[in-house]
Structure formats: structure tokens, C-alpha cells
């Protein structure tokens, strides 16, 4: 496939393979898939904020249902391709959605990770040049198993990176025990796609949230703050300096990082402890520099204002379009048609950099083709 500047690439698009859904169906605690007699589709229940409504719906058939309908968009390859065709998307880089393999035991995750990654690889082989994927690592397994997984997925033709949550090995992404994994991923030229899942503690949202506010607070605010905190911890612990070849794409335009990077810098410069330890002086790479050297941002922000902040922080040459499919479907129109959530992101790009501009072409596909080597699959 020859490189083309006019192609549209979706780098933020998820699937739950059938084998993965079977695991969720067998579980009694979140994450899980649960069927309810009053609903035509099973429900996908992922968030801690949904636990209360799950208990209520289990005991009361009149109660509000937790989670979201598990439609064919979540697991069907044919549906994914139909979605791409409907929205004129030429290439998708698919990935397992949260919570990945983080809930599996050490004895289960290695085998399941290999199965999921091979399943994604087979899907991509059915549509060569249109589908690539971010692999999933079995982070609950022993280190040698995780490193073996990195080596395995490096050899899969359509794999272009790793999707990673913010928990890491359980202590966060500033955990020194993660460094060998980051080093291996960087050496394999695999880009990390950092995606939130754990959000903020339920108490933050207050007692009215679960009954009255739906998923708005944990998704709109919890997810972006989770990403921001995770990257700030990585920066403060020196991960980016220790692994200079590490490259990461931050979901949802980097959370609130583009807006708060200046405040983070000011707090570092004025922190007595960091100044005393020599961690805040001259010669230090700022978080602004890391944003322009090792971090990329997706364009899943749904507004011109947010996207302009992302561009100012990282550069239009480091942003990549995404849809977050199959999440945020239309609620009042046919799911087989066009999704407003997709047009919101595309419109934001056009408004932020100019419709049809060189920058728009880059954000909508050119950047991803170059950064993720999507013209190299033979």
C-alpha cells in the first residue's frame, strides 16, 4: 500500500473478542457481562460507579439497569468494517477495551493475552491494509511472561503497539518494576496507547451521582484526570528520561494535561523538596518538552476548544483522529447509520486547523500512517 495523505485513520477504536466476552459472562464481580430479563441485550458493566446500580437491578426488576447494552458493535468484525465504511474510515487500529487483562490472575493472564492478540491478528489479516491493532499485555503475570508477550506481539505483522491502562503492575506507571517492560516495548518499536479505566474514587462524585447523573462524571471527568495523574507520576519519577525511546499516545487528547502542564511546571519549580533534591533546576526536561518529544495525543475531545489546547501543547503533527467506537453510540437514531460522536471529533479537527488544510489531513490520517508505520504491512 502506498502512503496517501488523504486517508482517514481511526487509532482509538475498540473491540471485545468473543473469547473475552465469555470470560466476562462467567464473572460475578465487575468487570462482567450480565443479562436481565427486562433487556433485549446483555449489559456490559465495567465501572466501580456501577456497582450500586448492579445490586439494585439484581434485586429489583423495576430498577435502572447498570452498564451499557452489549450490541454487535462490541464484538463483530463485520460490524467494525461496516462502521468504518459508513464513516469513510480507511484504516482502523483496533484494541481491546478496558479493563484489558488487569482483572485476571497471574496463571490466567498470559494464556488469555496470547489468545486475544492472536485473535486480533487474525481479524487484521482478513482485511489487510485496513486493520492494524494495539496488543494487550498480561500485566498480572510474572515479568518473564510479560516480556515474552512483548516479544511475541512484535512478531505479529499487524501489531503496531500496546494498549496500557494506568494501573500497570498494580502500583501505577511510576512503579520501578515497570521499567524493564517499558524498555522492552520501546526496543521493539511498539507505541504505547495509554487509556484510562479506574477513574477517581466513587466518593468524589457524591451521593447523588449514581442515581441522578448517569455515567457523566466518571467518564467526562474521572477518565481525563486519571490519564493526567498517571502521566504526571511518570514524569516526576523520571520514566521518560530513563526510557528515551518510549513513545506513548494519550487517550482523550491527553486528559487535562495540555491545560494543566503549565501549572504542573510551576508546582515543580516552587516545590522546596524537589528544589533541594536537585530535581527542579536548570537542565531539567520540562513536561512541555516531553509532550513534544515522547507523547502523542488522540483527537477524541469532541470540541474545537479542547483540540486547540492539545495542538498548542503537543503540535498538530502529533495528533491522531479517533472515534472511541463502539462507545458513545447514537441513542435516538439507528446505530447502523452515522454517529454524532464521530462527526463531533471530525468537525473539531476541521474547525481547529481549517477544513481541508494540510494540518487537517495530517490529524485525520497522515500522522498515524507515518507514526505507526501503517503503510508497511507486506
pLDDT value of residue 39: 87
By the 8 A CB rule, do 323 and 341 touch?
A: yes
Element (H, E) at 181: helix 179-187
Confidence bin at 112 (pLDDT 50/70/90): very high
Name the band, by pLDDT with cuts 50, 70 and 90, for residue 47.
Answer: confident
Contacts 24+ apart (CB under 8 A), 258-265: 258/291, 258/297, 258/309, 258/310, 258/312, 258/313, 258/314, 259/309, 260/228, 261/287, 261/288, 261/291, 261/313, 264/232, 264/235
pLDDT for 83 = 98
* Average pLDDT estimate for 155-176: 97
- The CATH superfamily of 9-19+76-372 is Metal-dependent hydrolases (3.20.20.140)
319: closest CA among 249, 247, 234, 235? 249
Residue 378 pLDDT exceeds 60: no
Contact 254, 288 (CB under 8 A): no
Q: What is the pLDDT of residues 4-25, one digit of tens each?
A: 448 999 999 999 999 899 999 9
Name the band, by pLDDT with cuts 50, 70 and 90, for residue 1. very low
The answer for 34, left when phi > 0, alpha when psi is -120 to 50, beta otherwise, is beta
Dump pLDDT digits (tens) for 309-335: 999 999 999 999 999 999 999 988 889
What is residue 3's predicted lDDT score, i.e. its pLDDT? 40
Q: Predicted confidence band at 345 (pLDDT cuts at 50, 70, 90)?
A: very high
Specify the pLDDT at position 190: 98
Task: Give the least confident one: 4-8, 285-289, 340-344, 366-370.
Answer: 4-8
Report the candidate in 43, 66, 83 with the shortest Cα–Cα distance to residue 326. Answer: 83
| Residues 229-239 as b or e (16 or more Cβ within 10 Å = b) | bbbbbbbebeb
Q: How far is CA 359 from CA 324, 328, 352, in A?
A: 21, 26, 9
Contacts of 248 (CB under 8 A, 6+ apart): 191, 192, 193, 194, 231, 294, 295, 296
Specify the long-range contacts of residues 99-104, CB closer than 8 Å, at least 24 apart. 99/31, 99/46, 99/165, 99/197, 100/136, 100/139, 100/163, 100/164, 100/165, 100/197, 101/136, 101/137, 101/138, 101/139, 101/140, 102/139, 102/140, 102/165, 102/167, 102/197, 103/31, 104/23, 104/138, 104/140
Find where cell 494540518 sits: 359
Whether the Cβ atoms of residue 314 and residue 297 lie closer than 8 Å to each other: yes
Q: What pLDDT is attached to residue 377? A: 62
Mean per-residue pLDDT, 80-98:
98
- Nearest-angstrom CA–CA distance, 50 and 30: 9
pLDDT-based confidence at residue 38 (cuts at 50, 70, 90): confident
Amino acid at each position: 500500500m502506498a502512503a496517501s495523505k488523504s486517508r482517514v485513520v481511526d487509532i482509538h477504536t475498540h473491540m471485545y473478542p468473543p473469547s473475552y466476552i465469555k470470560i466476562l459472562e462467567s464473572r460475578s464481580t465487575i468487570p462482567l457481562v450480565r443479562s436481565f430479563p427486562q433487556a433485549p441485550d446483555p449489559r456490559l458493566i465495567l465501572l466501580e460507579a456501577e456497582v450500586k446500580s448492579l445490586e439494585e437491578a439484581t434485586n429489583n426488576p423495576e430498577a435502572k439497569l447498570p452498564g451499557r447494552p452489549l450490541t454487535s458493535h462490541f464484538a463483530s468484525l463485520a460490524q467494525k468494517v461496516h462502521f468504518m465504511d459508513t464513516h469513510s474510515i480507511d484504516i482502523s487500529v483496533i484494541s481491546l477495551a478496558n479493563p484489558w487483562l488487569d482483572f485476571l490472575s497471574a496463571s490466567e493472564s498470559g494464556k488469555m493475552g496470547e489468545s486475544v492478540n492472536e485473535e486480533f491478528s487474525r481479524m487484521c489479516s482478513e482485511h489487510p491494509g485496513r486493520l492494524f491493532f494495539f496488543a494487550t499485555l498480561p500485566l498480572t503475570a510474572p515479568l518473564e511472561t510479560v516480556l515474552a508477550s512483548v516479544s511475541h506481539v512484535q512478531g505479529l505483522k499487524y501489531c503496531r503497539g500496546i494498549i496500557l491502562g494506568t494501573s500497570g503492575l498494580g502500583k501505577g506507571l511510576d512503579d520501578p518494576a515497570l521499567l524493564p517492560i517499558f524498555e522492552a516495548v520501546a526496543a521493539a518499536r511498539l507505541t504505547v496507547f495509554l487509556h484510562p479505566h479506574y477513574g477517581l474514587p466513587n466518593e468524589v462524585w457524591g451521593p447523588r451521582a449514581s442515581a441522578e447523573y448517569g455515567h457523566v462524571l466518571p467518564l467526562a471527568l474521572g477518565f481525563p484526570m486519571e490519564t493526567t495523574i498517571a502521566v504526571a507520576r511518570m514524569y516526576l519519577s523520571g520514566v521518560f528520561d530513563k526510557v528515551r525511546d518510549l513513545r506513548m499516545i494519550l487517550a482523550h487528547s491527553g486528559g487535562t494535561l495540555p491545560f494543566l502542564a503549565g501549572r504542573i511546571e510551576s508546582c515543580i519549580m516552587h516545590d522546596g523538596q524537589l528544589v533541594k533534591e536537585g530535581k527542579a533546576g536548570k537542565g531539567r526536561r520540562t513536561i512541555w518538552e516531553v509532550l513534544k518529544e515522547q507523547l502523542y495525543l488522540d483527537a477524541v475531545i469532541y470540541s474545537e476548544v479542547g483540540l486547540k489546547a492539545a495542538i498548542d501543547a503537543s503540535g498538530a503533527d502529533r495528533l491522531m483522529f479517533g472515534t472511541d467506537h463502539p462507545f458513545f453510540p447514537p441513542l435516538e437514531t439507528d446505530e447502523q447509520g452515522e454517529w454524532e460522536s464521530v462527526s463531533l471529533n471530525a468537525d473539531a479537527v476541521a474547525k481547529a486547523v481549517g477544513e481541508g488544510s494540510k494540518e487537517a489531513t495530517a490529524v485525520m490520517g497522515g500522522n498515524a500512517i507515518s507514526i505507526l508505520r501503517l503503510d508497511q504491512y507486506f
